[in-house]
Amino acid sequence: MRTINEIIIHCSATKEGNKISAATIDKWHKDRGWRCIGYHYVVRIDGSIEYGRPVQDIGAHVKGRNKHSIGVCYIGGLDADMEPKDTRTRDQKESLLYLLKTLKRLHPDATIHGHREFANKACPCFDANKEYCNI
């Protein structure tokens, strides 16, 4: 098993209400030449949690930080005008909290971050470090 030091939250950078799935993201990533989806978990707008890349496999979600991290992506992140927005539904917020608490129990030394902490991006379109600092 890999040593996990970070849990990194992403958004799919899709319009609010767009009901895509892990399978859709898997196709996008394969179209980019990757072997499969880069995230380990995907939280759909109804709050359901889908598996992406197996956790024992190194992800492809933050350049230079994949070896010791888990990537979690929620569906959304853009408003109708394609501008960054925290579009998480109540169900997504509940599921993200549940998933992050579970991952922290499994990897107690891991810290939680938003993608934007490591790249010049708005992703995940909210301050993940601040929101989840007490987990």
Catalytic residues: 10, 39, 115, 121, 123
Q: Give the whole-angstrom CA distance, residue 63 versus residue 61.
A: 7
Q: Which amino acid is at 106?
A: L
Q: Tokens for 38?
A: 């880069």
Contact 93, 79 (CB under 8 A): no
**Is the dihedral angle over the CA atoms 17, 96, 113, 134 positive or is it negative?**
positive
Q: Give the whole-angstrom CA distance, residue 86 versus residue 98.
A: 18
DSSP helix/strand/coil, 21: coil
**Cα–Cα nearest to 74, from 103, 48, 104, 36:** 48
